[in-house]
Amino acid sequence: MGLYNHLYNWKACHYLFIFYFLLLFVVGCGRSPVIGTHPTLEKDTLLEAIAPVKPNWLTETPERPGYKCFVGKGEKMKEKEAEEEAIMNMLERYAQFLGADYRILTQIHREEIAQKSDIYQTRGIVKTDAEILAGIITAGSEIKKRYWEKWQKMSGKSIEYPYYKYWVLGEVEDSFIKEERERIKAIRLTGFDELMQDIPPNSNLSVEIRENKGKYKVGDELVIRFWSNESCYCYILNFYGEGKVRKLYSDRLDKDIENVLKATAEYCGKPEEIIKFVVSNKSLDIDKALNEVYPMSIIKNLRSQAKELEARYAEKSILIFIVPK
């Protein structure tokens, strides 16, 4: 009897252990895993703003007869830096509206910027070139409206740093925009005729070009064959429209190996287009040259690079005509 009771108690404990083990297993499976989880990122917190309600012009650009409005936005840790970034963004949007680059605007108004900068310095006022340019294009009003917010940056459950969101609204007269387009047209065309005037090669290096038609209708296929008498680097640029430029080719050429350039003819506002071939035995920074404002200054930049590198250098240009259908 004693042995039976001992076995019974042992079996009871054994079954009880299994029951608790299964219970813990089921409960454990029902819980979400802990390993690999991350805290949910909390949203940034608005600390203060210049006005209790956001103005409508932040999302809906105002329309006013005789004027065009441009909104710029900046975001920096310091209020002044956020403001400057917003002004730059507004100017860049204005330049895009004109179909130009911001650098062209600074080039056009460089003398006015310099004059006003001297006046501000005399008065002890600190103004950036962007702020001065904004005042010029908005007829002296600089920025029509401003709005800023101060935010607290959050990362997880920790606070990182405060920063500013800044918006500006610039208002430009339609008559000024019309004048600005003429200024841009003039600056783009500066030196355009010079592009066809290739400088003499400084060595025996040369590039040969074969293009038979010369005149194309929109949609026609343009085929240009070209080769060099030495292995070299070759850059092909297309100058078209009102002083615009695009890179068609940038690669190495093997000696006496014919290459073929194909493109579809498109009319871009002006029938005459220049395709200029530049070859050099040393690699040139074509992207650096393309940062220049004037069309002719791009070529002058490449010439200057070749001179500094003491490279063997040559050019050849062709003129083609593309007419609308």
Q: pTM (2 decimals)?
A: 0.63
Residue 24 confidence (pLDDT)? 46
Residue 220, pLDDT above cutoff 80: yes
Does residue 22 carry a pLDDT above 80? no
User: Average pLDDT of 277-285?
Assistant: 97
Quick one: pLDDT band at residue 192, thresholds 50, 70, 90?
A: confident
Write the pLDDT tens digit of every residue in 164-183.
999 999 999 999 999 999 88
**Cα torsion at 283, 287, 288, 291 (round to 10°)?**
150
Q: Which domains does the chain show, CATH number per domain?
A: 45-186 (no CATH), 193-323 (2.60.40.1930)
Confidence of residue 289 (pLDDT cuts 50, 70, 90): very high
More confident residue, 15 or 206: 206
118-122, 202-206, 241-245, 310-314: lowest mean pLDDT where? 241-245
- What pLDDT is stored for residue 140 in this prediction? 66
Model pLDDT, residue 30:
44
Which residues of 4-57 form beta strands (DSSP E)? 45-49
pLDDT digits (tens, 9 = 90+) for 3-14: 333 333 444 444
For residue 217, the model assigns a pLDDT of 92
Distances (CA, A) of 227 to 210, 261, 262: 9, 11, 15
76-103 tens-digit pLDDT:
999 999 999 999 999 999 999 998 888 8
Distance between CA atoms of residues 296 and 3, nearest Å: 110
Tokens of 7: 């076995």
For residues 145-170, average pLDDT: 89
Nearest-angstrom CA–CA distance, 47 and 29: 43
The structure tokens listed for 165 are 């969101």
pLDDT in tens, 97-129: 998 888 888 888 989 999 999 999 999 988 899
Count CA atoms within 13 Å of residue 79 on its CB side: 8
Q: Report the pLDDT averaged over residues 144-165.
A: 88
What is the Cα–Cα distance from 275 to 320, expressed in whole angstroms? Answer: 8
CA nearest neighbour of 220 among 187, 252, 266:
266
What local confidence, expressed as pLDDT, does residue 141 receive?
A: 67
Mean pLDDT for the stretch of residues 290-309? 92
pLDDT at 188: 76
Please tell me the predicted confidence (pLDDT) of residue 100.
82
Q: pLDDT value at position 277? A: 97
Mean residue pLDDT of the chain comes to: 85
**pLDDT of 197 higher than 70:** yes
